[in-house]
Structure formats: structure tokens, C-alpha cells
Amino acid sequence: MLKLLAVSAVALTACTAAASEAPREIPSTFDWQITPSDKEDAAKGEVQFQFGYKTEHHSSMWSSDTPLAKLDGLTAGQLASGGQPVAFALHRDAGDFHCKGVAGEGRGLGACVYAANPAFAAELGKRGVGAPDAGQQFTLAMHDMGYAYLDELKRQRYATPTAEDMVRAAEHGAGMRQLVAMDQAGYRFGTVGELVRVRDHGVSARFVGELKAHGYAGLKADDLVRLRDHGVSAGYITQMSDLGYHKIGIEDLAKLRDHGVSASFVAELKGQGYENLSPETLEKMRDHGISIGFVQRANRDGAKHTPEELIQMRDRGDH
């Protein structure tokens, strides 16, 4: 039993996520695997559930802590047994996955088949989403994107998405978890497209929470994306704040990073007696190739040249 599970685990690991578009074909079978969760999750009745497929053109695999109750027909007793055949269903609004296999010693593996919910397309049509095609419906079933997601969008006063919007949100990680987490962090973007965009640029609930802790709250989606794209992290903001640069504007933060003004560069300048320089001055010094070594050489006669003088000296090739 354990040897069989180990072999299958290797095979499943090879099927890592790939598809960036709704799959053009619906796989005939899917692999599933259960491995023990950590003690905390196990105490909550959760198991580590892996689920996915591989075809000629696509391969995808999902892994998450899943309540055992969601695996309809699989019991804790079966998992704890020495090994026995099992059958259970994974119910989704868009369709069900009927699974069979073996389980025991806290583990399990097997295969599933997909059955689309014939009422799903009509229900999405009633909600103004429009009827998904078979491939889109399958993708929504795989990602568990259904009525609850639409209800949450409505509660947050988002525009009604299209079926294509829902599929894109599912594939880009902008599902229920992201939607709720961003709302709890104080952000509602109005459209699923914007939610996906900020997600694609690496804007997470944790990131906006860190920004809020530094006084940057209620930012527009464009500002969040700009900060993320330009490498402005919470750590950078903290370091600059510690150096006396409190609540720098969004534009200045992005420009400082673009011009290569690191917190260490600012700290080294401070060590040479250059404090409270404007962002523009810091950027200009970096643009003209001012290094700490150059500053030290320029001032070795005891003089303290101004930033403007240092720039002129650097442009002339002095020191």
C-alpha cells in the first residue's frame, strides 16, 4: 500500500500547473492523492488533497488543505484503515468529480471522472454572466468558481463579470480567497478585470496591509501596481522611514527605486554628513554616478562639497 502511494506521488508531482487559458479539451480522467496534513490542520478535520490532470496540451495540479467533509463519501475511518477501496465525490457548482481509489494509513490515491452540471450554464445566464462553453465550465469546476463567488462580487458591488472574466480570475488566482482578502484589507476594485490585474502584478492582501501599516491606505489600483512594478516593498519603505524619509509620495517612491536609490546608499550618505536630501537630489546623484567612495575622495581635504558640487566634479571626471 505505502509503496504504491509513493510511486503515484512521484507521478503526480510531475504534473505541475501549466495552462494559462481554458483547456480546449476536457480530460477523461483526473488523478487524486491524499497525504497527511500537519497536526493543526488534521485537528480541524482537514487533509492535504492533490487533484489534477495531464493531457497532450495541458497539465494542471492543485494542492490544498481540504475539509474531509468536502470529499463526500470518504471517511476518517477509511483513511485510518490498513488499506481499502474508496469512492467519493467532489461537488462543485459547475460540475462534480466522481472519484475512486484506495485509502489507508492516512493516505490515498486514485482517479476521478468529471460530470458537468447541466443547470450551471442556465443559472449563470440568469445572473447576467452569460452561458459558459463546455471548456469554460470545466475550468470553473476545477477551480471551484461558482455561485458563492458571484454572490460575493455582488455583495462588494463589483460589476457583473462575463464567463470569460470568471475563467480568467480562476486561472490567475483571483478567486474567492483573493476577493475576500482584498476586501478585508480595505480594497474593492469594481471589476473582476481590475482584481485580476493587481493580482497579476503581485499585489496581495499582505502587501496592501503592509502599505497601510506605513500610512498608505486607500490607494488606487494604478498606484498599487506602480509600487509593485517598481520594486517598492514594505521593507524599503521601513528602511527609508528609519532614515528620516517619512510618508514619501507614491511617485517619489517609484522614482527613487527606478533611479537605483537604495536605503543603504542613503544611509552611507548620512554617515558622510549628507542628511535630509530631497528625493530629487538623491536621484540626480545616482544618475550622475555618485558613489560613497567618490564622496569620500572628494572630501578628503576636509571640505564638505554640496551635492551639486559633487555632481559637477563627477561630470568633469575629478577624483
pLDDT at 11: 36
The x, y and z cell numbers of residue 95, run together, are: 460540475
Q: Is residue 248 part of a domain?
A: no
Task: Tell me the pLDDT tens digit for each residue of 23-43.
Answer: 457 898 999 999 987 777 666
Q: Are residues 106 and 13 in the same domain?
A: yes
Residues 49 and 97 in one domain: yes
Q: Is residue 201 part of a domain?
A: yes
Is the distance from CB of 143 to CB of 170 less than 8 angstroms?
yes
Tell me if 32 is assigned to some domain: yes
**279 plus 210 within the same structural domain:** no
pLDDT (0 to 100) of residue 61: 85
Residue-level pLDDT at 64: 86
Q: Is the pLDDT of residue 15 over 50?
A: no
Contact 86, 110 (CB under 8 A): yes
What is residue 10's three-state secondary structure?
helix
Residues constituting the chain:
319
Domain extent, residue 193, equals 117-229
Count of the separate structural domains present in the chain: 3
And the C-alpha cell for 151?
A: 454572490
Is residue 312 in some structural domain? Answer: yes
Same domain, 145 and 223: yes
Does 295 map to a domain? yes
Same domain as 30, residue 60: yes
**223 shares its domain with 183:** yes
For residues 85-108, average pLDDT = 97
In a domain, 109, yes or no: yes
Residues 198 and 262 in one domain: no
Per-residue exposure over 188-226, b if at least 16 CB sit within 10 Å of its own CB, e if not: ebeebbbbbbbbeeebbbebbbbbbeeebeebebebbbb
How is residue 9 written as a grid cell? Answer: 506521488
End of a domain among 116, 145, 165? 116
Residue 119 is predicted with a pLDDT of: 97
Average pLDDT over residues 57-74: 89
The predicted-structure confidence for 209-238, as pLDDT tens digits, reads as follows: 999 999 899 999 999 999 999 999 999 999
- Give the model's pLDDT for residue 10: 32
Residues 186 and 93 in one domain: no
The answer to the question of residue 69 being in a domain is yes
Q: What angle do CA 253, 201, 236 make, to 5 degrees?
A: 30
Strand (E) or helix (H) holding 271 = helix 263-271
Listed residues 61, 88, 116: the one ending a domain: 116
Orientation angle between helical segments 192-200 and 176-184, nearest 10 degrees: 90
Q: Are residues 34 and 86 in the same domain?
A: yes
pLDDT in tens, 231-240: 999 999 999 9
d(CA 108, CA 201) in angstroms, rounded, equals 37
CB atoms under 10 Å from CB of 315, counted, come to: 10
Instruction: Let me know if residue 305 belongs to a domain.
Output: yes
Instruction: Say if residue 75 is in the same domain as residue 146.
Output: no
pLDDT higher than 60, residue 8 = no
Per-residue confidence (pLDDT) for residue 24, from 0 to 100: 56
The reply to whether 94 and 196 lie within a common domain is no
Residues 102 and 194 in one domain: no
CA distances to 36, 48, 196, 216, 293 from 200, rounded to whole Å, are 31, 26, 6, 21, 40
Question: Which of 72, 93, 116 lies at the terminal end of a domain, its last residue?
Answer: 116
Model confidence pLDDT, tens digit, residues 138-192: 999 999 999 999 999 999 999 999 999 999 999 999 999 999 999 999 999 999 9
